[in-house]
Structure 1
Amino acid sequence: MKNSDATRGITRRRLLGVAGGAGAAGLLGGGVADAVARRWAGPAETPLTATGATAVPFHGRHQAGITTPPQAWGHLVAFDLVPDAGRPEAAALMRRWSRAAEAMTAGRPPEGDNQIALDAGPCSLTVTFGFGRTFFGKTGLEDRMPEALVEMPPFPGDDLDRSRSDGDLWVQIGADDPLVAVHALRVLQRAASGTAAVRWQMNGFNRARGATERPRTVRNLMGQIDGTANPDPSDPDFDAKIFVGGATGGEAWMDGGSYAVVRRIRMLLDHWERLPVDRQERVIGRRKDTGAPLSGGTETTPADLTATGPDGTLAIPGDAHIRVAAPASNGGATMLRRSFSYHDGHRDDGAPDAGLLFVAWQADPTEGFIKVQRKLAGGDSLSRFLKHESSAMFAVPGGAEDPDDYVGRSLLEP
């Protein structure tokens, strides 16, 4: 082999040829296979990407994982406290979780590490913690449950699985490497042993970092660009709409926090994909290829809800998703959507069990998600292609600002 070939590495065809020639014994015993694997990985001193080196600070006024750009992999997990666990045990768990999360998000192995991700960087890992309504009664903190943490009302068309809804504690994990995300998940599950048990777990994904030539808005499994109209952290009223500010008294622990609404929304993809593209665009109110509103412009052009076409009809149909969901149609109601897609195989009827792990952040869920969902459930043409199968809401406190602090301390300690 020429030196130039050696420095470039090997092609997939050559890799398969070497593997085939080695035989089963060679592959199982190492030798040639180990050499191939080392050469496939490339020279150790030349990193393939900077993705793995990116770290998101754990400490801060707000918890990470809210305004952090969505990562490629995500896990949403709810826990219930075991029968004998109360406030002291919950506080000890939050200390353990925060300590482990701080280490892993910095790229350090946590205490008792299982070494699943030992050779990886932090990969934009974030870990976000929240409390459900039932948590407060089990810990004797009913008087400190915030008023905004309301019970989710029923919506027309909901078909909720209660075993995959609600929960005492909630953890959101995101990372740009699947092994790093699973590592964090496993570490936190082990740390909860004896105090809290998993109630439900949902696993999702987005486009991998670096898969496009420039940063682009993520597409969902319907092929639609999803998230264009999200509020931007640079907006002057962003913090007031997304984060709790000025909380006092028994709710002071929520200052700097937010409320997360989590919904598992199955997409009826077979039904959707039978629609011609122009009909899909009218259901959404945007062009499928560019994401531009049907009223004209580019993806980032604000939708003109008054625009009409040559025949005098509304350019964006009256029941189009972006019209019904728009803040202008909902008294200014705003939420930050930060979701993951999911695909859990196929149902008994052969249809894909796939869709969106919807996560919405807001300072007040009654004035955010609940107000918008009531409107969507009554007049959104997209609802014919969706099934809401689980639902939960969590109070997500502000971040641990002090290196010795842990998330939820001001709630759990006098």
Structure 2
Amino acid sequence: MRTEFDTELEERLVRYARIDSQSDAHSPSVPSTRIQLDMSRLLIEELEAMGAQDVTLSQDSVVLATLPATPGVDAPVMGWLAHVDTAPQYNATGVKPVVHRGYNGGDISFADAPDLRLSPDDFPYLAQKVGEDIVTASGTTLLGADDKAGVAVLMTAARHLLNNPDIPHGTIRLAFVPDEEIGRGVTPQLPADLGADFAYTFDGSSPGEVQYESFSADAGVVRITGVSIHPGTAKDELVNALHLGAKILMTLPHVTMTPETTEGRDGFIHAVSMTGSAAEVEMHFILRDFEMAGLESKGTLLRQVCETVAATEPRARITCEISHQYRNMRYWLEKDMTPVDVALDALRAAGMEPLTGAIRGGTDGSRLTEFGTPCPNIFCGMQNVHGPLEWVSVQDMAKAAKVALNLATGVARLDPTPR
């Protein structure tokens, strides 16, 4: 059964998903790709048209806007965030969203990839969506519901509040952020630009999710310089950087400490890329753990492996740099659980039992919390993200929109927080 929000949510998601806004970790610009601004400019136009105030594009390319408090409401300022970029791991050019209305419970096929199937046998949650409206891409791209479903949810909730001034709420600040997928969207400037006492990202999957614990994360870059020489005269002279890179990979505990061998609260070291030649190689790693001691031990291990391999070939040069990405939001949120408690109440008011498991990843909220604005994560319905089998139920998005409205009325009942 379609809800009052379904048509708008579907239209927004389809419209947004068609826009290529993929980020690029190898680009130094802000945002990392100019195409993200196509999404940003559209959101600015739509926010202005619906009557939002203070609509701007910040120096960090964040779309900001204000929903002013209803008369007589003096409450904390709440922020709502979603990100405009899509993941660089899979093709995102030429997305053709497909709406499978009234899903019949069988396999979903893809017009542009006849051999591809989205099956409830492989993804049991899909089996629960019979009768709902499922949106996928056409088979050769990701959909981009991560996080354009979140964008659609917040734009729909914002329009509803602006059109219904009888719904009491405090000041709400909207932020649509670039480059979340590469960990660069939230800068130290965003808390001041946002001006919120606390905030929520809408960047989760299954209905009921409210997450206030994430991985802590570092990045590792290993650079190897070998000795390059013509292979015809290479005897006892050539030092192949590719071979040394392979030794590093094989020396790391790839059976017990990689994403494909871990789950739950286990951390990992993930080799993301290895590029170069026999002369020079650059390797990129991500390091993840829920606890700082575990994260630090993984950085130490990567350095030790590099030092061990370097010792086997003194003519080579191997460096290992570990850099900060984000930290577990729990470290800050557990000091004041008010934003989490408000979210739990909002979910229950929408008829859902809260799901509070830890995220095996991070969100913009991880960095925003670390920078001083507490920011749990709320679901928006996306499933199987970052690949061609990505999908979302319009009805799940509608549940997220209802939660956003419940957050608005719930915060309106709180005493204002000194800022």
Which TM bucket (shorter chain)? under 0.3
TM-score normalised to the size of structure 1?
Answer: 0.23
TM-score normalised to the size of structure 2?
Answer: 0.23
